Chains A and B, each alone.
Chain A
Amino acid sequence: MARRSAPEINAGSMADIAFLLLIFFLVTTTIEKDRGLVRALPPDQPLDDVKPPVIKEKNLFVIIVNNNGELLVEDKPMEMKDLQPAAIEFLDNGGFPNGQEGYCNYCQGKRDPKSSDNPDKAIITVKSLRESSYESFVTVQNELVGAYNFLRDRESMRLYGWKFTEVSAKIEEGTFKGNEEDTKEKIKVIKSMYPQKLSEIDPKQ
């Protein structure tokens, strides 16, 4: 019998099939957004039996966002781009004089006695009017988180030689190499140096 070689399969239509699948996936794909600003809400408390703590006016940094997305910071209008530097200046002020309890020895601010005493006492509070857009709300939050991150990065660079935001992101994602326990402790130290004290006021008030 004559030997016949097996006929080759025509692969010419392979490309068409692949294109068909490709177009299907192209159309159905939505690359999902999976990053965002993490915040913690204050726990719910019944109003009547808790006395609100007394906070000195100078330790409060009040931001009001109006319905057009314009800012009123400490009773003065402000542009969005100036918010972060202003918040950094407020948090980093360290108004307590040297020697007094609560003196902030790592602050590099102006040490203005009329501004915040130390970063632990400094509270930023945001009031967004009901009709203001969610975008302006998020932008303000972003700028404030940015201010905290800037200060935390600066202190972690000074004390440990790495950036707080980069290292804590690595630990979160599980890609950190090195002594994790030790680093977590250090992150705690940095966090306590500039604790995030952001509050929101009821827009109805």
Chain B
Amino acid sequence: MSKFRKDGGKELPAISTASLPDIVFMLLFFFMVATVLRKNDVKVAQILPSADQTEKLKKDRTVYIYAGKPGEGYKQFGTEGKIQIGDKFVNVNEVQTAILEEREKLRDELKDYVMVAFKVDKETNSGLVYDVKQELRQANLLKVIYITTQTDDVVK
């Protein structure tokens, strides 16, 4: 009837996917930049407590102490809180030697400014953390930082 209608009706043109790789690459670069490859495998549970009065950590002069219940795959070590330095479990009386060993891995000029970072699961007993701190005092490593999750308001 209408003279304007063309016969056969045109098909919808396919949506161009030419820019899809660009989008994916953009995401890829984001994750590549944000990724930190872990140095040691953390063998304990790691749900950190939250805090709002935090300061930034200086990674180049930090040694880490992990503590918490043994995580997935390490259940044979029991359910009591454990201390991990480097990539092995240590007892409280071995903390000093283990932490000084870890300190040797830092750059020479930063060894005197070393800071000990506690990455401790929030369910851990604070008595265990207290014992570790006593050991650190004896080793004369007095700067500590408790790594936390950043939140705006801790106490509701």
Contact = CB atoms under 8 A, between A and B. Distances in A.
Interface residues of A, number: 56
Contact of B53 (A41, A130, A131, A145): A145
28 contacts: A11-B18, A15-B20, A18-B24, A30-B36, A33-B48, A33-B119, A34-B59, A35-B56, A36-B57, A36-B117, A37-B148, A38-B144, A39-B145, A40-B144, A81-B156, A83-B155, A134-B49, A134-B123, A134-B125, A136-B126, A137-B126, A139-B51, A142-B51, A142-B154, A169-B56, A172-B55, A200-B133, A202-B130
Interface string B44-56: 0000110111111
Interface stretch (A20-28, A53-61, A90-98, A116-124): A20-28
B150 A138 contact: no
A99 interface: no
Given A37-B51, A134-B121, A203-B130, A28 B59 contact: no
Interface in B18-68: 18, 20-21, 24-25, 27-28, 31-32, 34-38, 48-49, 51-57, 59, 67
A73 to B, nearest CB: 14
A101 interface: no
Interface of A: 11, 14-15, 18-19, 21-22, 25-26, 28-44, 65, 80-81, 83-84, 128-139, 141-143, 145-146, 149, 165, 169, 172-173, 200, 202-203
Interface of B: 17-18, 20-21, 24-25, 27-28, 31-32, 34-38, 48-49, 51-57, 59, 67, 115, 117-127, 129-130, 133, 136-138, 140-150, 154-156
A134 B148 contact: no
A6 B15 CA distance: 26
Q: Chain B contact residues: over half helix, strand or loop, or mixed? A: mixed
B54 A37 contact: yes
Contact of B142 (A43, A81, A129, A149): A43
Contact of B155 (A30, A42, A129, A143): A143
A28 B38 CA distance: 9
List 5 tightest A-B contacts by C-beta distance, closest first.
A130-B127, A135-B122, A25-B31, A142-B51, A35-B54
A33 B149 contact: yes
A128 B145 contact: no
B140 A44 contact: yes
Given A28-B37, A40-B143, A22 B31 contact: yes
A19 B24 contact: yes
A173 B32 CA distance: 23
Given A15-B17, A128-B130, A137-B129, A22 B28 contact: yes
